[in-house]
Amino acid sequence: MAKRKRHSAKFDRCVRDVRRSGSAVDPFAVCQATLKKRAYVRNPYETSQGDVDKAYKLYREFREQIPKRGRVVEFEMPKVVMIMGNINAIEYDTTRRGKVEKYRHAFAAGSRPLLCADGATGQLFVIEGRYHVTPRGIVDLGPDGDELE
């Protein structure tokens, strides 16, 4: 009689969740890769106070208010992603001056970032593109790095 390999409770929950999602992917492969990454991959970057200060400053200038609290957002950066296409525009809601506002930024043709997805988790990522975020919001950059109006 072959000995059955015992999986962790996390692995079993993962397989059950993938099966429930109705996805056509192999739940064992997805969960094995996901749990292996979680077990061995750690964030190689230490969070410096300087990085926290820069995020605090940008938040304060963009939202025009002092942050009430910080939040740690955990995610894993995949080594390989699937490129879905270029992002033409992005819409988002944010609070500025104490009021919820809707924003839409249409990227200039040469500034468009890529919309990508992690093959294992489906997590979306916005990568590359010529733009930066300022207190005014998203600002496109030209080939020379100058801000476009």
The residues spanned by each domain of the chain are: 42-140
Name the more confident of 43 and 31. 31
What's the CA gap between 64 and 83, in Å, rounded?
Answer: 35
Instruction: Find out whether 126 and 115 touch, Cβ atoms under 8 Å.
Output: yes
Question: What is the pLDDT of the chain when averaged over all its residues?
Answer: 80
pLDDT at 77: 83
- pLDDT for 143 equals 92
Q: To the nearest whole percent, how much of the chain has pLDDT over 70? A: 76
Q: What is the pTM of this model?
A: 0.61
Alpha helices in 22-115 (DSSP H): 27-40, 49-63
Give the pLDDT mean for 75-102.
Answer: 90
* Contact by Cβ (8 Å): 43, 55: no
Query: What local confidence, expressed as pLDDT, does residue 43 receive?
Result: 52
Helix-, strand-, coil-residue percentages of the chain, each rounded to 5: 30, 30, 40
- pLDDT of 106 strictly over 70: yes
